Structure 1
Amino acid sequence: MNKKIILIIGGPGSGKTTLIDELTRLGYICYPEISREVTKQAQDKGITNLFLTEPLLFSRLLLEGRIKQHVDAINENTNIVFIDRGIPDVLAYMHYKGDSYPESFDLACKNHVYHQIFLLPPWENIYESDEQRYEDFDQAKEIHKHLVDTYHNYGYELIEVPKDTIDNRVKFILEHI
């Protein structure tokens, strides 16, 4: 089996979840973004924003979850698995915040490789804020830059998905696999 683990990345509010939901609806195996789950669990414990109050703990929880997603994707009985965000996203956000992290974070990026990366650019017309998204659009653009730099630092070629309808975005991705 020629397995492909494919990431959908981009800053907050760029349409990743909508795209993953549509790929799932079409029958593809897709793993959702886990940061919302980690954020919600912290909020349920009374921590308004774990990323801001304890960024290393938040990032460690994300890293563990994304490593698990990578391992699970390898074990899927299908040729293609899409994942909403990858392990290097954790480092990109740490860079954005200006925080340091242990060498194990870097090793996780090197030891868990993805086959293709599709990048969704910042898109103000679709950007929305909610209870788990604290960034405004300007911050989302800055995070986007850190994502691009971090993935490039690990040698990934990023394929930018055009701003278009969800159907055309899905078509673009499927044509480039």
Structure 2
Amino acid sequence: MVSRLVVTGAPGAGKSTLLETLAARGMAVEREVARSILQAPGGMEMRARRPQDFARAMLEAESAAYARAAMNCGATLFDRGFPDIAGFLKVEGLPVIDAVERACRDRRYTGPIFRAPPWREIYWQDEERIQDWDGAVASDAAICAAWRMYGYELIDLPLASADERADFVLRQQSN
């Protein structure tokens, strides 16, 4: 059975580090698609000047990741998912694109859906993570609201080391 789990939540809250830790333990993971788009030539400009095109690019990449997970017999943990794209559009003050709406409704994750809450002690900005602390908190609120709007329950990750968080995810997944 294909199992699709997600870690979502605040920017800079340790999601990527958690995925790296779980990948090292042998779990199949799909890395955050937005970051790879931002790192590509023109990605930052597209996010800043054409956020709807950025959302479409994220949708295309997330759709490919979602399809790849079907090839995996076990669980795949995603760094973000379709509702994150809807949350991004809300943060930008834009309506949710029909294709994103359909993906959120029709391409379901089987859970659990883990939330990495804002964590000030580890938050830092970089070239792709451009939100200040208040922006990161606002992004978390919009993203969580989007996940709930599409019928998902979120499980907060503990504010703990990556290894402790990985143990938490593995315990929750086996329940």
Measure how far apart 1:40 and its partner are: 1.5
TM-score, L = length of structure 2: 0.94
- 1:20 corresponds to 2:19: yes
Match of 1:87 in 2: 82
Paired residue type of 1:106: E
One-letter amino acid of the counterpart of residue 67, structure 1 = S
Q: SS where residue 124 of structure 1 aligns?
A: coil
Q: 2:100 & 2:164 partners in 1: Cα distance?
A: 35
Distance in 1 separating the partners of 2:96 and 2:53: 10
Matched, 1:111 2:120: no
Q: Corresponding residue for 2:95?
A: 100
Partner letter of residue 26 of structure 2? Answer: G
Segments of 5+ residues of structure 1 without an aligned counterpart are none
1:54 matches 2:50 = yes
Contiguous gaps of at least 5 residues in structure 2 = none
The alignment yields a C-alpha RMSD, in angstroms, of 1.2
1:6 aligns with 2:5: yes
Match of 2:126 in 1: 130
TM-score by length of 1: 0.93
Q: How far apart, CA to CA, are the structure 1 residues paired with 2:132 and 2:67?
A: 33
Q: Letter of the 1:92 partner, please give it.
A: G
Contact 2:9 2:118 survives alignment (8 Å): yes
Contact 2:44–2:128 (CA under 8 A) maintained in structure 1: no
Deviation per CA, 1:59-90, whole angstroms, max 9, x where unpaired? 000011111111111122x3111110001100
Q: Once the 2 structures are TM-superposed, how far is the Cα of residue 50 of structure 1 from its aligned partner? A: 2.0
Provide the secondary structure at the position in 2 that maps to 1:113: coil
The one-letter amino acid of 1:79's match is: G
State the partner residue of 2:158.
162
**Aligned pairs, how many?**
172
Superposed CA deviations along residues 23-71 of structure 1, whole A, max 9, x for unmatched, are: 1111111111111111121xx34x6432121000000000111111111
Task: State the shift of 1:171 in Å.
Answer: 0.8
Q: Distance in 2 between matches of 1:48 and 1:161?
A: 29
1:61 and 1:160 map into 2 onto residues whose CA distance is: 28
